Structure 1
Amino acid sequence: MPMKKGYKALVDEAMAQVKTYTVEQARAKLDDPNVQFVDVRDVRELEREGIIPGAYPAPRGMIEFWVDPESPYFKPVFGENKEFIFFCAAGWRSALTTKTVQDMGMENVAHIEGGFGAWKKAGAPVAEKVKKV
């Protein structure tokens, strides 16, 4: 059965409706205490490739539940008055995530163009993801 709307159309729509930072723009906000980077990649990706220093790991599949104060899975970090900058490996999942949380009512959200891959390629800082014991 053909898709009514494929992933490319969904990502393109999201990109047209969300704020996108270049790696350079995002990197300039790295030490800003009013900014929280949020990594929506799978935990295996984080352990394998590292993470942006100080980023909060929030798997894409849980984001709607973690950002909603009414959810039993709400994470208090998302209740803070900060700018949230989402990223994934290539910028597709983070574009969809940013659009989703924006549609849910979160303001002051953005994502990184090219994701963590572009971040690493630009030589921006990377921290090791600590594995839970």
Structure 2
Amino acid sequence: MSGVDDLLAGARAELDRVEPAELDNRLRDGALVIDIRPASNREAEGEIPHSVVVERIHLEWRLDPFGDHKLPGLTDEADVVVVCNEGYASSLAARDLKRLGLSRATDLVGGFRAWRAAGLPVREGGTPPVP
């Protein structure tokens, strides 16, 4: 029987995960950062500037590059990086987005907390999620 650790390892094997400094560079090149953290974490800790908040429950619908409810302008070639608190839930979410057709989907190693620990910019939290 496979547990969550095996599930996580399998998901990460499908991803080209990014470190905080690399994500900072990719943001400048137009990467789409998707924050799936709960509102309480975002309000307390802040958010990555220019990130888009999409609640986990809506993620596949808003990021299906071929779906009717996708984010405006989203294509299957988009550079999408999913962010959670510490880089666990985001790995599973990014794997699912790759399976939907976002070939470049990945996640942030260490999540938002690694971003903040690296001294990278943080904006005040509380951005409403994309409906």
Give the alignment's TM-score, normalised by structure 1.
Answer: 0.84
Deviation at 1:86, TM superposition (A): 1.0
Alpha-carbon spacing, 1:15–1:117, altered in 2? closer, same or farther (3 Å): same
Alpha carbons 1:35, 1:82 under 8 Å: kept:
yes
SS of the equivalent of 1:29 reads helix
Q: Which runs of 5+ in 1 are unaligned?
A: none
**Which residue of 2 is the match for residue 15 of structure 1?**
12
**Which residue of 1 is the match for residue 79 of structure 2?**
83
Alpha-carbon spacing, 1:131–1:105, altered in 2? closer, same or farther (3 Å): closer
**Which residue of 2 is the match for residue 126 of structure 1?**
122
Q: Alignment partner for residue 26 of structure 1, among 11, 23, 31?
A: 23
Q: Aligned equivalents of 2:55 and 2:73: distance in 1?
A: 14
Q: Aligned equivalents of 2:127 and 2:33: distance in 1?
A: 19
Deviation at 1:80, TM superposition (A): 7.9
% same residue: 25
Q: Which runs of 5+ in 2 are unaligned?
A: none
Letter in 1 for 2:72: P
Q: Deviations over 1:16-67 (max 9, x none)?
A: 11110111111222222x3111111112211111100000011122111212
Q: Aligned equivalents of 1:19 and 1:48: distance in 2?
A: 29
SS of the equivalent of 2:92 reads helix
Q: Aligned equivalents of 1:26 and 1:131: distance in 2?
A: 20
- Between structure 1 and structure 2, the one with the greater Rg is 1
SS of the equivalent of 1:37 reads strand
Letter in 1 for 2:5: K
Q: CA RMSD in A?
A: 1.9
The structure with the greater share of residues assigned to strand is 1
Alpha carbons 2:82, 2:93 under 8 Å: kept:
yes
How many positions carry a matched residue from both structures? 127
